[in-house]
Structure 1
Amino acid sequence: MAFLQAQAAKEVFAHVIVGNTQSLSQQDWETDMKLAKSLSIDGFVFNVGFGDDANDKTLATAFKAANAQQFKGFLSLDYLGGPKQAFPKADALALVQTFAADPAYFKVDGKPFVSTFEGPAAAGDWPDIKKATNCFFVPDWSSLGAPAAVAAGGGVADGLFSFDAWPNGDANITTKPDKDFQAALTGGKKYMMPVSPWFFTNLPGFNKNWMWRGDNLWDTRWAQVMEVNPDFVEILTWNDWGESHYINNVRVSELGLFDNANAPVKYAANNPHTGWQKFLPFYIAQYKAGGKAPAITKEDAYMTYRKTKATACPSGGTTGNNKAFGNPPQVEVPPETLVEDSVFFAALLNSDEGVTVEVTFGGATGAAAPGGGANGTAATAAFTQAPAGGKGTPGVYLGAIPIGANTGAVTLTVKRAGAEIAKVTGPAITTTCEGGVQNWNAVAI
């Protein structure tokens, strides 16, 4: 399986929380890897925290599946998420040595690729670890900022990964942090760019309860990938149910953390994110082609929204933004100020010429939607954002329609000259408060 060690141009990986996967069989892993491959994802980033006794067994099963599926994987050592403490040097070295020789382990020019989640205080460990393992080291030391991260450990990093994938405040995310990393990474050092669709966490047992703006984030971020043109892309995440930015199909057996962390509601259950899978093959092909849109053989559409309006339920103590992040620290605001009560839709089209969009709100009661159309009738919507090439060109078109007073199931229908291109129906918008609090997670269908 030597082909697995060869680096393809511009690899795209998905971040996997290994601690959520202890119940998975090899067949379960293979199912996930088959799905990831169908989405054009090149491999998994295995995030592991120190002190989890199941790590070795879980990783061994995952790599067996990766070999069976001709898939790739590499380690990301989590210096903040383990049940004990940040990785001691000897344990970090042993983990890399245990798995780096696996045929399915991703390598750059024969060097096993290793990343981290934070851990800059241990930067001085890595010159020796690199010497012992010959690894290609691309840590996430985002808390330092790019210039300091480049210099940490005597310049030990071969590149950097950023976890700065979400907006600060009510404005859309920009590419400034990415370009700051690129500017600092001179001399051939690589940049791995993060892409994420959402962020909300309410896990009291882990002292986590905040959200960041996510409206239109997924498609906005992929457009920024084309602008930044990084060396690698890491999707945050495949299965982080606790932070609501998963793109995998929800697997009930992986949701135990909600009980472990005393969550008021299992906010990933019954909240599918499969819509965010739909355009991945297009986006990844576009990225690998240097931003040139590939041929679109199947036009499609998806939508995303929250199932309760922002003021329908108590906030659950959730803050918008988190003062523990940012330099200067982020300003915490009411979470309802960071989201819009709208149905956001996206269509992958060869052209928008002759295309119409309808959003239908079900249910027996409810006032007319601001865009027109009472409950049970179709509201005509419009695209407000075209691909970089402009209207009439191939790519992803975006739009939104306010929910208004509508409730019930939501159906998105996209047609061209009366012929249906795509039709999707999502879960009902309600006034029911799960666990007595707001579920700030979104659905993507």
Structure 2
Amino acid sequence: MTSPHTHNLPTSPRHRLRKEPSTGQTRGLARRAKALGGFVIAAMVAGAIIPLATGADSATAADEVVLTASDSAWTTTRQPTVPQSGLLSATATSDRTYLKFDGDALAGRQVTAATLVVKVNSTTATAPGVVAYPTSASWKSTSLTHDNQPGPTGSAASQPSATAVKGQTLRIPLDVRSVATTGDFALALNYSQRYIQLRMERFNSDAPRIEVSTAPVSTTPTPAPSPTTPAETPADGPLVFAHYFVPYPLSIDNKTESSDYYTRNYLSPDGESSKFASVGGLLRDRPISPGVSTSTTWRVDNFATEVRQAKSAGIDGFTLNLMSSSGQNWDASVNVMKAAAQVGGFAVVPMVDGSSSFSSNTPETAASLLSQLYQVGSAYKEDGEYVLSSFKAEGASVSWWTQVINLLETKYGLPISFQAVFNNASDANLKAYAPIADGFGNWGTRTERTTLNSADNVARAHALGKTWMAPVAVQDVRYRSLSWAEANNTASVRAQWSKAISQKADYVQLVTWNDYSESTQIAPSQDHGSAFLDLTRYYTSWFHTGSQPAITSDAIVLTHRTQFVDAKPSYSQSLMGAPALDGTSTAARDSVEALVWLPSAATVQITVGGTTTSFSAPAGVSAYTVPLKLGTVSAKIVRSGATAESLTSPHQVVSTPYVQDLQYYAASSW
């Protein structure tokens, strides 16, 4: 019997369909069922709908312990040598809150869940933003200042999950490893949304606290996985991978945001000795800074943070772009895999970049390097075979790939399944690589028009007995080459998801997680916040289960540019021409889009530059656009005369930008 997540394909010599055991037909589906923000997924077992257990449901035997902060403080760059008093404050860069707790009450217990609880006094936040980091507990509030504050001692203990609202309690789920069970421990908080401030109560009944669920410490040791055996990796079924581009990690040099490598060299037009001055600088966006860490493992810690961010959106793993065989990029590749193994439940597929120096190695060197990666526990295996993939498979010859695969299998004893992803998935390329590949994919298109008019690539691959990895990208703007595609806000990415779901692709590759040089990133960033990740979360759920998620609460994602397409920047630079990256003539447009999720019909109001436009919207997911104007962008969902949800973009639209920036900015009410 074919499993719910296995397509009935012809079997090729190098492709075996993934079969579920007869007693576990719903294994892949149940593993992926999640409660996701404004929509809830239920697992289908033996024809019945069974709601997933919540954390509270699974903790019936657990003891609940509340730890109230034993000391609290905040620091600010505005008074770098002065201890601060009064309400606690957190911002993206200037203000940081410090909380200290006594873990002795947890002695002899195992922490199974932990939630930080703070009371919001005031805020201008419009998007989720609290991020907590473990830090040293050696400080005192009477002497702590910006200049002597400790840095993070590990990766983030939380991710932005809820928007702060004045007068309300904010609950932030924590990584249980950040809670010590003996002695003092501390957390540092910032708010990742730029240009806003979060003020929190500090004393008495509203003092910050951590609600901890505990259980007796197990006396049964957990065996460590074998170095050559993958740790927990995704179950069988349609999987979602995000393409990880190693040159752009959370931090390059472990410095503060105001003076780190991104700020000095990538975002500044004059950075890297004016190397990219003619195009206004290399990048326009960057990852949200994790701050300065005192840990010697800060690189791996930061990659672990990104793994957790991806997992929170239902992403099953990274396809890891292999560009170099030594140096910083190679070290980053190894560390990404180590971080994924450390976090667990997240797979990594080595993806040789056919346009890079890695594919210029001899097959012997390439196989040796790949064999090292396959020793890491996060390396993804399917049907007992390690998965190898490519960016631009046609960049290396069939002979080169054949030798690499044969060496991995014969010299290193690593059975390989090859997923060949092309820049040009032509009939000729598919035919040429069919003898060595188990599956195909392509880098994809970047406009709604080309997506809707493209061939049924899933059917093409299945006809050859191969799987298909469908590409999904939010946008594509390349300042270095002055080339771009018009994504029509989220119309293009929604069309790509729709096609992957309706055609039943075997995999989706999100192009990309973090290639800021092509503006394709969906990772949490300064210019998008978590908006594109929130959008991804909805569609990964749909793709995994095959059923459109039920909508149980209102949500808004706003997208817009911060300048008109024909705006002239004040910095002297070369400008983009018409959007033609996709080889089409899709016209540029200046528009604001509100993408809304509604459990019932409502009125959607979009206000741009003081002008409000209203739309009657049915229940479900729908998008509404209005012309771009100067000033502030906001949207509301109104039902029965009352505002059910509202969102103000933190990004202003200006007439004269400093540099040209044609990417879509985004904000989310999730």
TM-score (norm 1): 0.78
C-alpha distance in 1, partners of 2:464/2:432?
16
Question: Displacement, 1:273?
Answer: 5.3
Q: In structure 1, how many angstroms separate the alpha carbons of the residues matched to 2:385 and 2:566?
A: 51
The whole-number CA distance in structure 2 between the counterparts of 1:12 and 1:421 is 32
1:415 aligns with 2:638: yes
Q: 1:189 aligns with which of 466, 485, 495?
A: 466
Distance in 2, matches of 1:276 and 1:6, equals 22
Match of 2:564 in 1: 309
Taking the aligned partners of 1:35 and 1:142, their CA distance within structure 2 comes to: 28
Instruction: Give the aligned residue type for 1:279.
Output: L
1:154, distance to aligned residue in structure 2 (A): 5.8
Decide whether aligned partners of structure 1 residues 19 and 87 sit closer, same or farther in structure 2, where only a CA change above 3 A counts.
farther
Aligned-residue offset at 1:232: 0.2
Give the distance between the partners of 1:181 and 1:228, measured in 2 at CA: 6
Residue equivalent to 1:227: 502
The question of whether the paired residues in 2 share the 8 Å contact of 1:7 and 1:108 is answered with no
C-alpha deviation, 1:219, in angstroms: 2.0
> Which residue matches 1:318?
576
Following TM superposition, by how much is the alpha carbon of 1:155 offset from its aligned partner in structure 2, in angstroms?
A: 2.0
Contact 2:385 2:416 in 1 (8 A): yes
RMSD across aligned positions (CA): 2.5
Cα displacement string for residues 8-37 of structure 1 (whole angstroms, at most 9, x for unaligned residues)? 311101111012237361221121111111
Task: Kindly indicate whether the alpha-carbon contact (under 8 Å) linking 2:322 and 2:330 is maintained by their aligned counterparts in 1.
Answer: no
> Alpha carbons of 1:85 and 1:42: their partners in 2 closer, same or farther (altered >3 Å)?
closer
Return the offset for 1:87.
4.3
Q: In 1, are the aligned partners of 2:630 and 2:653 still within 8 Å (CA)?
A: yes
CA drift at 1:104: 1.1
1:142 equivalenced with 2:423 (yes/no): yes
Counterpart secondary structure, 1:161: strand
Of 440, 446, 450 in structure 2, the residue corresponding to residue 166 of structure 1 is 446
- 2:163 aligned residue: none
Q: What secondary structure sits across from 2:486 in the alignment?
A: coil
How is 1:7-406 mapped onto 2 (pairs within 5 angstroms)? 7-21=235-249, 23=252, 25-70=299-344, 71-82=346-357, 86-120=360-394, 121-131=396-406, 132=409, 133-143=414-424, 145=426, 147-153=427-433, 155-167=435-447, 172-177=449-454, 179-180=456-457, 182-203=459-480, 208-215=481-488, 216-250=491-525, 270-272=526-528, 274-290=530-546, 292-313=547-568, 316-322=574-580, 330=583, 338-351=587-600, 353=601, 355-361=602-608, 375-376=609-610, 378-381=612-615, 391-392=618-619, 394=620, 396-403=621-628, 406=629
**Please, which of 412, 417, 428 is the counterpart of residue 652 of structure 2?**
428
List per-residue Cα deviations over 1:85-118 (Å, max 9, x = no partner): 7443223212221112322111111211111111
In 1, are the aligned partners of 2:637 and 2:646 still within 8 Å (CA)? yes
Contact 1:306 1:441 in 2 (8 A): yes
* Equivalent residue letter for 1:416: R
Q: Is the 8 A contact 2:425 2:441 kept in 1?
A: no
**Which digits, 9 at most, give the CA deviation of each residue in 1:275-311, with x for residues without a partner?**
2222322211211222x21233433111111111112
Structure 1 segments unaligned to the other structure (5+ residues): 251-269, 362-374, 384-390
CA distance in 2, matches of 1:54, 1:108: 29
Q: Secondary structure at the match of 1:245?
A: coil
Change in Cα spacing, 1:350 to 1:5, as seen in structure 2 (3 Å) is same
- Does the CA-based 8 Å contact 1:4-1:106 persist in structure 2? no
Q: Which range is displaced more, 150-159 or 32-41? A: 150-159
How far residue 60 of structure 1 moved from its aligned partner, in angstroms, is 2.5
1:380 partner amino acid: S
Q: Residues 424 and 234 from structure 1, CA distance in 2 versus in 1: closer, same or farther, beyond 3 angstroms?
A: same
In the other structure, the counterpart of 1:444 is 666
**Aligned mates of 1:416, 1:36 — CA distance in 2:** 33
Q: Using the aligned pairs only, state the percent identity.
A: 22
Q: Matches of 1:6 and 1:75 in 2, distance apart?
A: 16
2:511 and 2:359 map into 1 onto residues whose CA distance is 23
Given that 2:470 and 2:505 are in contact with CA atoms closer than 8 Å, whether structure 1 keeps it comes out as yes
Residue 61 to residue 376, structure 1, CA distance change in 2 (3 Å): same
Q: Distance in 2 between matches of 1:415 and 1:173?
A: 35
* CA distance in structure 2 between the partners assigned to 1:428 and 1:316 by the alignment: 23
Q: Give the drift of 1:190.
A: 0.5
Check whether the contact 2:524–2:533 (CA below 8 A) recurs between aligned residues. no
After superposition, the Cα gap between the structure-2 partners of 1:243 and 1:222, relative to the gap in structure 1 and judged at 3 Å, is: same
- Aligned residue for 1:80, secondary structure, equals coil
What is residue 264 of structure 1 aligned with on the other side? Answer: none
Counterpart Cα distance in 1 of 2:378 and 2:304 = 13
Question: Runs (4+) of structure 1 moved beyond 4 Å?
Answer: none
State the TM-score, normalizing by the size of structure 2: 0.53
Other-structure match for 1:265:
none
> Does the CA contact (< 8 Å) of 1:381 and 1:400 recur in 2?
no
Structure 1 residues 316 and 89 mapped into 2: Cα distance closer, same or farther (>3 Å)? same
Shifted more, 305-314 versus 172-181: the winner is 172-181
Alignment size in residue pairs: 379
Q: Secondary structure at the match of 1:219?
A: helix
- 2:362 partner letter: P
Check 1:289–1:174 CA distance in 2 against 1; reply closer, same or farther (3 A cut): same
